[in-house]
Every structure is written in structure tokens, then in C-alpha cells.
């Protein structure tokens, strides 16, 4: 994820070897770390310690670590605890800094909450205590029938989260079904800030090859292509909108929309489809409002894509309030 700041703001640099010590504006209150404690920082009013937690089961695992479902022994609250692998090279440490820095800056009902960050005394292990979303990711809906009304509800919530992040100059860079979590309250929230970026200058670009290839926008996959201008490269938020649009189409049709159903994607095929093919569209049987909404997200030219704020006022969402 990325945070873009005006030139007058403090310059934030995420060093791959040490945590950022940048002071942020007062609207981002961050509790100070306590020496000798197992807790690094907290975003919650009621502090939770690592010793308060009982593991229930494993929710998932990957290259970045393992996520456990845990219970607070003092009040029976349920959380998700991401335990980061002990060995960290410089690249992984840099990703970890991003993943822990940004959740401490944000406070939105549309972004998964980071409650605490734990580190053992030797600094060899880091765990992130997060809000528990009991229905998993939007990937679990793949293949199910999603109505336009249901899609509008999902679309609005994710857009509210993106609009909030973009207003704070934060670019996610990896919006996809697997990074959008849902719960039994029918809430959808944005998660996983491992490749996000904080834009520290108004002209910072976000064209690095970071994130999930399949959901990258054309200008991010090939920033040197003919027709990609400096303005396109500087339009850092438009890449999130492309990824968001692809995700919404995928929820609607039940499979990754840039390739035929059942086709296993590879990087070369994805690049060709994104950079040289036509953007996917909503199915013909969909309403004109939904077709227009998807088109506003998936325009090849970044400057022609609607912003999150503009999309929130699109008739597809407004007429379903």
C-alpha cells in the first residue's frame, strides 16, 4: 500500500532494516511502545498482551506466515493472529514494515482493524493481532450466484474503504478477492497491506512490479508501453480502481474475467490479456447501470478511470440505497 503526502508534510521512508520513526499528524494517534513488554504498539483502547491469547485453529498460511484464530482468555473476544516467520531477509522485513505501519495509521469500518503488534524480546518473531472476519475472503464466493443488489453492497463497502485510504494518500496495490474479507454481519473490509505504499511526495509514482500480477492495471504491468505518459504513471490511485473493477466482475461471473473459464493463468498470458486485449465487461444480461459502472473502472487509460469518490456517486450504487 502507498501513502502520498503533499510536499509540506513529513517525509516517510520505510527502511528495509529498521522500523520507521516518522511522526505522523495528530489524526493518527499511535500508542508508544513499552520497553521490555511483549507488545510493540496498539490501536485499541483495551490493550491485549500475547499471554492473554489462546490459539483455537489455523485459518491459513503462506509465504508471509501463518494466521491463527485466537481467543482472549480475559473476555473471550475472538481475533485473527498473524504470526510472521522468524527468518526475515531484507525484502521480507521491508514488506513486514509496510504491513504493520499502515494498519496503525488507519481507523475505518471498511478496513480490517489492527489491534496489537507483538514482538518477542529477541525480535526474532513478530505477530499481528487483527480483527477476525468469520466468513473469510471473497474468494469463498467464487462460483456462487451474486445478484446485482448483492454486488452493489459489496462494491460500495470496498469503495468506501478505498476512498478512505486514497484520501489519506494510501495506495493498496493488491486489491483482489483474497484481500477482501467478509463477516456474518455482511460487512466487507480491505486487508493485507504487505505491498501497499505510502506516497510521500505529490509526484511519487507507483509503477513498480509489486502485487498480484493478474489484477495489475495496464500501466503497472508495462509502464514503458507506447502511450503511457508521465501523467499516467503519476496517477497512482487508478491502479487500485482497475484491480477493484476486475474483482467486481469476477464476483459477478464467478471466475477470473480476463481469461476463459477454467483456463489456468500464467504471467505471459495475463500480460498479453491486460495490455493488448480489451477490458472485460459486465455480461450482456446485466443492467445498463452495472455495465456503465464496470466500464468506469476498467478503462485502459488511467486518467479516464473514475476515482473511488466518483464511483460512490455512480447510479449503480446510488439507485440501490
**Whether 260 and 284 share a structural domain:** yes
Q: Residue 42 forms beta bridges with which residues?
A: 116
CATH number at residue 120: 3.30.200.20
Are 261 and 174 members of one domain? yes
E strands, 25-64, in order: 39-42, 53-62
Check 54, 107, 174, 295 and give the catalytic one. 174
16 in a structural domain: no
Check whether residue 90 and residue 185 sit in a common domain. Answer: no
Determine the Cα–Cα distance for residues 31 and 14; give it in Å rounded to an integer: 19
Cβ atoms of 180 and 190 closer than 8 Å: yes
Do 149 and 257 belong together in one domain?
Answer: yes
Strand partners, 67: 60, 82
**Domain count across the chain:** 2
Q: Is residue 209 part of a domain?
A: yes
Q: Domain of 182: which CATH number?
A: 1.10.510.10
Predicted local distance difference test score (pLDDT) of residue 194: 56
Q: Which domain holds residue 203?
A: 138-318
Residues 6+ apart with CB under 8 A from 32: 41
pLDDT value, residue 230: 76
**Cα 179 from Cα 193, distance rounded (Å):** 9
Q: Cα 20 to chain center, whole Å?
A: 20
The pLDDT assigned to 239 comes to: 94
182 is a domain residue = yes
- Tell whether 261 and 115 lie within a shared domain: no
Among 82, 97, 131, the domain-final residue is 131
Looking at 90, 111, 131, which one is the last position of a domain? 131
- Clarify whether residues 253 and 205 are in a common domain: yes
What pLDDT does 8 receive?
33
Tell whether 20 is covered by a domain: no
Q: Is residue 101 part of a domain?
A: yes
Identify whether 174 is a catalytic site residue: yes
193 and 96, same structural domain? no
Residue 193 and residue 151 in contact, taking contact as beta carbons nearer than 8 Å: no
Q: What's the pLDDT at 13?
A: 29
Out of 76, 101, 131, pick the residue that ends a domain: 131
Residue 256: its pLDDT value, please?
Answer: 92
Per-residue confidence of the chain (321 residues) as pLDDT tens digits?
555 544 332 222 223 333 333 333 333 333 333 333 344 444 445 688 889 999 999 998 876 678 999 999 999 999 999 887 666 666 666 666 666 677 777 899 999 998 888 877 665 678 889 999 999 999 999 888 899 999 999 999 999 999 999 999 999 988 999 899 999 999 999 988 654 444 443 333 434 434 478 899 998 887 766 667 777 777 889 999 999 999 999 999 999 999 888 888 788 888 889 988 999 999 999 999 999 999 999 999 999 999 999 999 999 999 776
Contact 194, 98 (CB under 8 A): yes
Q: What pLDDT is attached to residue 41?
A: 47
d(CA 225, CA 218): 9
Q: What does the alpha-carbon distance between residue 217 and residue 194 come to, in Å, rounded to a whole number?
A: 18
Question: 159-185 burial string, b = 16+ CB within 10 Å, else e?
Answer: bbbbbbbbebbbbbbbbbbbbbbbeee
Give every CB contact of residue 286 below 8 A, 6+ residues apart in sequence.
148, 252
Q: What's the CA gap between 166 and 236, in Å, rounded?
A: 10
Do 231 and 282 belong to one domain? yes
Residue 242 lies in a domain: yes
The answer to whether the beta carbons of residues 218 and 34 sit under 8 Å apart is no
**Annotated binding site for ATP: which residue ranges?**
82
Cell numbers linked to 296: 468506469
The answer to the question of residue 22 being in a domain is no
Q: Which residues are annotated as a binding site?
A: 82
pLDDT at 271: 87
Residues 231 and 309 in one domain: yes
Query: Same domain, yes or no, for 56 and 122?
Result: yes
Amino acid at each position: 500500500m502507498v501513502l502520498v503526502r503533499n510536499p509540506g508534510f513529513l517525509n516517510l521512508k520505510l527502511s528495509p532494516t529498521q522500523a520507521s520513526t516518522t511522526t505522523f499528524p495528530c489524526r493518527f494517534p499511535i500508542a508508544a511502545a513499552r520497553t521490555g513488554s511483549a507488545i510493540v504498539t496498539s490501536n485499541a483502547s483495551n490493550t491485549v498482551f500475547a499471554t492473554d491469547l489462546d490459539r483455537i485453529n489455523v485459518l491459513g498460511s503462506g509465504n508471509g506466515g501463518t494466521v491463527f484464530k485466537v481467543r482472549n482468555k480475559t473476555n473471550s473476544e475472538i481475533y485473527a493472529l498473524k504470526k510472521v516467520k522468524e527468518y526475515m531477509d531484507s525484502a521480507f522485513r521491508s514488506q513486514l514494515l509496510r504491513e504493520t505501519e499502515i494498519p496503525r495509521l488507519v481507523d475505518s469500518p471498511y478496513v480490517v482493524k489492527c489491534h496489537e503488534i507483538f514482538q518477542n524480546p529477541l525480535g526474532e518473531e513478530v505477530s499481528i493481532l487483527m480483527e477476525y472476519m468469520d466468513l473469510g475472503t471473497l474468494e469463498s464466493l467464487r462460483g456462487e450466484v451474486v445478484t446485482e443488489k448483492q454486488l452493489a453492497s459489496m462494491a460500495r463497502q470496498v469503495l468506501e474503504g478505498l476512498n478512505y485510504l486514497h484520501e489519506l494518500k494510501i495506495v493498496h496495490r493488491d486489491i483482489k478477492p483474497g484481500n477482501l474479507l467478509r463477516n456474518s454481519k455482511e460487512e466487507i473490509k480491505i486487508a493485507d497491506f504487505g505491498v501497499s505504499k505510502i506516497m510521500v511526495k505529490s509526484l511519487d509514482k507507483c509503477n513498480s512490479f509489486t502485487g498480484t500480477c493478474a489484477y495489475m492495471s495496464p500501466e503497472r504491468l508495462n509502464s514503458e508501453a507506447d502511450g503511457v505518459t508521465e501523467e499516467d504513471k503519476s496517477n497512482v490511485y487508478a491502479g487500485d480502481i482497475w484491480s477493484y473493477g476486475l474483482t467486481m466482475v469476477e464476483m459477478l461471473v464467478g471466475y477470473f474475467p480476463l481469461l476463459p473459464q477454467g483456463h489456468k493463468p500464467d504471467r505471459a498470458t495475463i500480460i498479453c490479456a491486460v495490455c493488448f486485449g480489451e477490458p472485460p465487461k459486465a455480461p450482456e444480461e446485466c443492467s445498463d447501470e452495472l455495465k456503465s459502472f464496470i466500464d468506469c473502472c476498467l478503462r485502459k487509460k488511467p486518467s479516464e478511470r473514475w476515482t473511488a469518490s466518483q464511483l460512490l456517486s455512480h447510479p449503480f450504487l446510488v439507485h440501490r440505497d
